[in-house]
Amino acid sequence: MQHRHFRLYKIRLNKYLAQAGVASRREADLLIRAATTTVNGIVITDPAYQVMPTDEVVYDGRRLKIDIEPTVVMLNKPKGVITTARDPQNRPTVLDLIPGKTRLFPIGRLDKDTTGLILLTNDGELANFLLHPRHQIPRIYVCEIEGRLSPKMIAKLSRGIFIGGGEFGRCQVLRQNTVKKRSRVTLELTQGKKREIRRIFSALRVRLFTLHRIQYGPIKLGKLPEGRWRSLTTDEIASLRKLRKRKGKIRE
């Protein structure tokens, strides 16, 4: 039965490229029409062309491969683990913590010293959607800082603060609890620039002790132990699909 399902499975060529992480589905339409893609050695310019799992798909000289069933897992990343599939310095990576899931790749990155929720998938189309700046997918972090953010600082973060490299960092302060000389601050970001929160606090000259991500879009880390992972539930997958549909309608 499983073999027959595999033989009968078909996928549009533009979706195939998107799931392989080449580009979004709309961008893949343009790439295919530009005669960049072959199927079994034949140039295909129709984005709706139906691809079988046994077909050889080559884009720009690179053979592509996708899994039949898209998979998404969440991991509670510990400190010191690199968010990449491989590391030339042989440091521990997120995939080292997910045995048997070597076809997955992380959606975005958390730096080495940041802990918490990281999503991994074999679905390049989903990854492109979640990472694209225009979709403004919220990420929620909890950090521990020295002192307390003043109302002036909070207003400045909401408007945007220059963080170097020609970029501005922007976030919303959702909560702030202060005990003695330290504060626990919950922040929401939608841009996801490289090391954005660390650069924000550096620009404010505020010492940052810890940084932990607890939510990505509708997906919450919950009580998943540090260093452990699990597949997303049916409801969680559905929430991502609803998010994609809603964002698509807004663009239209």
Tokens at 55, concatenated: 């077909």
Q: CA torsion sign, 214 to 230 to 77 to 101?
A: negative
Give the CA dihedral 168, 171, 177, 183, nearest 10 degrees: -20
> Does residue 212 contact residue 76 with C-beta atoms inside 8 Å?
no
117 phi and psi angles, rounded to 5 deg:
-70, 125
Residues 238 and 113 in one domain: yes
Query: Could you say which of 45, 64, 83 is where a domain stops?
Result: 64
Domain CATH number, residue 161: 3.30.2350.10
The pLDDT of residue 70 is: 73
Residues 50 and 159 in one domain: no
The pLDDT of residue 237 is: 84
Quote the CA–CA distance of 60 and 76 in Å, as a whole number. Answer: 36
The pLDDT of residue 2 is: 33
Total domains present in the chain: 3
26 phi and psi angles, rounded to 5 deg:
-65, -40
Quote the CA–CA distance of 160 and 172 in Å, as a whole number. Answer: 10
Domain CATH number, residue 55: 3.10.290.10
96 belongs to the catalytic site = no
Query: Can you give the pTM of this predicted structure?
Result: 0.75
Residues 208 and 95 in one domain: no
The pLDDT of residue 247 is: 60
Residues 50 and 117 in one domain: no
Summarize pLDDT for 61-96 with one digit per residue, the tens.
Answer: 999 887 656 789 999 999 999 998 777 888 899 989
Residues 88 and 142 in one domain: no
Catalytic option among 96, 111, 123, 235: 111
The pLDDT of residue 251 is: 43
Quote the CA–CA distance of 129 and 131 in Å, as a whole number. Answer: 6
The pLDDT of residue 150 is: 95
Stretches where the chain sits below pLDDT 50 are 1-8, 249-252
The pLDDT of residue 5 is: 35
Domain hosting 58: range is 2-64
Residues 125 and 7 in one domain: no
Give the H or E element holding residue 249: helix 234-251
Query: Could you say which of 17, 40, 64 is where a domain stops?
Result: 64
